[in-house]
Structure formats: C-alpha cells, structure tokens
Amino acid sequence: MKEGPDIARMAALIGDPARANILTALMDGRALTASELAAEAGVTAQTASAHLSKLAEGGLIRPRKQGRHKYFALAHEDVAQVLEGLMGLSAGLARPRTRTGPRDDALRHARVCYNHLAGAMGIQLYDSLLTRRFLLETEAGPVLAPDGAEFVQAFGVDLPALRARRAPICRECLDWSERRSHLAGSLGRAIFARIEALGWARRDPESRAVLFSERGQAAFEAQFPRG
C-alpha cells in the first residue's frame, strides 16, 4: 500500500450523495440538527444518523451539544475549502443537475463560504486589497501589508485580537463559481462580519446567498473599488 494521506477514504466520505448534501448544507458556517440535515439530504432520520456518524469519525464534521439538543457543524475551515474546490471542479467538468435560476444568480453574486464572503463580491474584495497592495501575494499565500493593517483597522476590524489567535490571518480560497481566489482566514471572517454589522448585507435564510441592499452595494463599491 502506498504511503501518504488516504485520499480515497476522504473521497468516499464526501462522494456519497446524501453526505455531500449534508456537507453542503453546513457550508454557511451554521450548526444544524440531525433532523434539519436529514431534510437537506432527503433521507430518513435513521439514515442521516448513520451518515453523520461516518462524517464525524472521518473528522469532517463535529457534533456540538446545547442543552438537550445536538448540533453538527463542519470541523474546520479546511473542510470548507476542500468542498468549495470540489464544487468548482464539478461546475467546470459536469453538467449542472438543475436549470439555473434567480437563486443561482444570487449565489454567484455573493454568498457565504463557511464564514467569509464568496462569489463575485468576494472576488472583488480580494482583488481590491491586492491591487492597492494592502495584501501581498507570497509563495506561502497572501500576507497583510502594513498599509493593509491600517486600512482594515480603520474599517473596524480588531486586528490585534485576530493576531492573538492561532488561526491564520489571511488565506485564499478558490471560488467555485468564479474559479478565482477570495479571502478566507480570520481576516476574511472579520471583514464579512463587519459588512453584516454595518447593515450592508444580510444572509438569505433559504440559501447561502448574501443579499446586499442598494445602499450596502454602493458602500461596498466605495470601500473595495474594482482595480
């Protein structure tokens, strides 16, 4: 047997249609109950329970208890990045399973990817930071420049708090719809949280779409102009 990571095991865990639907439902960063995930996957509660056990044992999701209720969430951001990459690969190589519609357009415009902004708006944010050299591209990934640190703090991001954590400040995540990178990491999360706090956008409760108001769209364009 060849040495190295067991890709086949991970692929088998993700590859089951019901488990893939469960993982996709958790891509917005929320924790959901087993019954909610069963509905998302289109399977019975008993079948969902078996799938959830396999995903938890494989390290892709983590259970969380709150009172008498048990919730499930993606284990960490790396899982979300792998799923986003697979979505991009699937979109490029396979025919879509359903006809596209307004919701699909909304997801491509702006959506939440685990806990940061993705879609065309996420790409614009990332490109804007790069163009103004607030972010610098290195072999190890994007790095926040000194001018960028001043910019994000002026925007309302508590940068010292981010730096005190173990999580990477900046990471790039390959966007499935745009096939280009958007900003992940703790800075990506903080900027998206700030956008929500300012009231520029809200999450669509029925999907992963992020809906910008007219005022919010204009404010975003002013803060993160196109290159």
Per-residue pLDDT reduced to its tens digit, 140-150? 889 999 999 99
Task: Give the pLDDT of residue 144.
Answer: 97
Question: Between 33 and 95, where is the model more confident?
Answer: 33
* Res. 2: pLDDT tops 70: no
Cα separation, 22 vs 79, in Å, equals 13
Cα separation, 21 vs 44, in Å, equals 13
Dihedral sign for Cα atoms in the order 4, 113, 83, 22: positive
CA–CA distances in Å: residue 121 to residues 53, 118, 128, 171, 203: 35, 6, 10, 17, 14
Task: Give the pLDDT of residue 81.
Answer: 83
Cα separation, 134 vs 199, in Å, equals 24
In the chain, the percentage of residues whose pLDDT exceeds 70 is 92
For 58-94, write each residue's pLDDT tens digit.
999 999 888 788 899 898 888 888 888 888 777 666 5
Is the CB of residue 146 less than 8 Å from the CB of residue 156? Answer: no
CATH number of 7-75: 1.10.10.10
Query: Domain-by-domain residue ranges, the chain?
Result: 7-75, 79-223
For 123-146, write each residue's pLDDT tens digit.
999 999 999 999 999 988 899 999
Q: How confident is the model at residue 100 (pLDDT cuts 50, 70, 90)?
A: very low
Question: Between 49 and 102, where is the model more confident?
Answer: 49
For 158-197, write each residue's pLDDT tens digit.
999 999 988 899 999 888 888 888 999 999 999 999 999 9
In the chain, the percentage of residues whose pLDDT exceeds 90 is 59
Task: Give the pLDDT of residue 96.
Answer: 54
Mean pLDDT of 104-111: 90
Task: Give the pLDDT of residue 4.
Answer: 62
Cα separation, 201 vs 5, in Å, equals 40
Q: Which pair of structure tokens corresponds to residue 126?
A: 């990332």
* Res. 202: pLDDT tops 90: yes
User: Which pTM value belongs to this model?
Assistant: 0.76
Question: Between 100 and 15, where is the model more confident?
Answer: 15
In degrees and rounded to multiples of 5, residue 62 shows phi and psi of -135, 135
